[in-house]
Amino acid sequence: MSDLFGPLFGNPAVDRELSSAAWVRAMLDFERALFAVSARAGIVPPGEFPSVEVDPAALGSAALASGNPVVPLVSLLRSVQPWAHHGATSQDVLDTAMSLVARRALAPLRADLAAVASSCARLAAAHRDTVMAGRTLYQQAVPTTFGLKCAGWLVALDRATERLCDVELAVQFGGAAGTLAVTGDLVGELAAELDLSAPLLPWHTDRTRVADLACALGTVAGVLGKIAGDVLLLSQTEVGEVAEGTGGGSSAMPHKQNPTRSVLVSACTRRTPGLVQTLLAQMPQEHERAGGAWHAEWETVTELLRLVGGAALHARELLAGLRVDGERMRHNLGLTEGLVMSEHLATVLGRATAQAAVAEAARTGKPLRDVLLADPGVSLDVQEIDRVLDPGDALGSAGAFVDRVLAGRGGEEAT
């Protein structure tokens, strides 16, 4: 996490739990817990677990000889307590440390996701009936509401967050080759000591838990990226339907207020698919302990958690201050001069009559309203034509969908 770019793509509360010092703390937590449960079981003599000062940078340099930082850490511990690390292998320490690091980093990340969800609920409720153009393939399609768009964000985010919460973060303890030949089965006790799940078997080469975490984080990133992408499109000068509360300035153009939070969410989430792919690629691991595959996970998981944490924080700030211009949304709906209402018109006039009127409006460039008023085959009076062409009259179940989503969350309307 560099000083130059790190603050742009991270989240201080999450980053603290992903630092080198945090990894060392997690490794020490495993060693301390293993010593405690082993002593209680009478496997090692009772005694004090050493309190040692560890320099992460020095540990990393010392790790070059063995290929992982556990070996020099254990040497340091055993210089004070010879029974430290008894019966464990390096992967036990690092896999459990990864579970602990992930659990600790996910706490502030999930808090930010909950705040994003609350903002989505608030916006959905406030703009339940704020009419805007629904767009497909970058073109205006039919009317919808901004509330329904926000409800869509909310449902996707709730699903993704639930999946993330369901990821099992488990202790790893299998010894040299997954048999626990030295200590016997202390997995349950060790899991309880560390407040992690207890697996049925050691999972040295079963990387489904890592894959689950990666995919869940990738899914959250995809949802946050969708929200940011919508805001970026809607905040374009030519559209102007939403704006960030505190836009960023330009180095060259003082008139610009850039959607900075959306840009940073997008930047974070665009980097996550490759990290997910890297972790999935490590799943086929050789025999009982792999060479290189589990090593490739440490920094990848760390970076994935960091980027999704950054995206969640920026999305929280983005939606908390989002400004919505309902009048501009109405104005933009009028750009097609009624053509956006063609589907609704067909339900009232019949498809053949509506298609003929729409074709005439498109050919002549006249407003659809004028074409309908001049068409002797249309029996509607002015008031009826205006009602038919009112986007608010063609929203279908949009309002009911918003109500359903909010009711499913207990009618939440965050303030």
Count of domains for the chain:
2
Instruction: Round to whole Å and give the CA distance between 48 and 130.
Output: 65
* Average pLDDT score over residue span 225-249: 90
- For every residue of 163-208, DSSP letters joined together read HHHT---B----TTTTS-TTT---HHHHHHHHT-B--SS--TT--H
In a domain, 402, yes or no: no
176 and 293 share one domain: yes
Residue 406's pLDDT band, with cuts at 50, 70 and 90, is: very high
- What range defines the domain where residue 362 resides? 339-388
**Helix, strand or coil for residue 49?**
coil
317 and 366 share one domain: no
Instruction: Round to whole Å and give the CA distance between 11 and 68.
Output: 27
From 92-96, 200-204, 250-254, the region with the lowest mean pLDDT: 250-254
Tell me the per-residue pLDDT of 128-164, one tens digit each, with 9 for 90 and over: 999 999 999 999 989 999 999 999 999 999 999 999 9
In a domain, 84, yes or no: no
270 and 355 share one domain: no
Lookup: tokens for 34 = 């293993």
pLDDT at res. 168: 97
In a domain, 85, yes or no: no
Rg (CA), the chain: 29
Lookup: tokens for 320 = 């908390």
pLDDT at res. 251: 42
245 and 372 share one domain: no
Residue in this structure with the two tokens 């990290």, named with its chain if needed: 275
Tell me the per-residue pLDDT of 172-214, one tens digit each, with 9 for 90 and over: 999 999 999 999 999 999 999 999 999 999 999 999 999 999 9
Instruction: Round to whole Å and give the CA distance between 66 and 180.
Output: 22
Instruction: Give Cβ neighbours of residue 316 (< 8 Å, ≥ 6 apart).
Output: 112, 115, 116, 119
CATH number for the domain spanning 99: value is 1.20.200.10
| E strands in 310-414 | 323-324
Give yes or no: 250 in active site: yes
In a domain, 354, yes or no: yes
Instruction: Round to whole Å and give the CA distance between 220 and 25.
Output: 27
User: pTM (2 decimals)?
Assistant: 0.92
199 and 347 share one domain: no
Residue 4's pLDDT band, with cuts at 50, 70 and 90, is: confident
Residue of 104, 207, 271, 289 marked active site: 289
168 and 190 share one domain: yes
Residue of 61, 75, 79, 250 marked active site: 250
314 and 375 share one domain: no
The CA distances from residue 55 to 18, 25, 76, 79, in Å, are 16, 11, 11, 16
The CA-based angle 48-54-59, given to 5 degrees, is 125
In a domain, 155, yes or no: yes
In a domain, 196, yes or no: yes
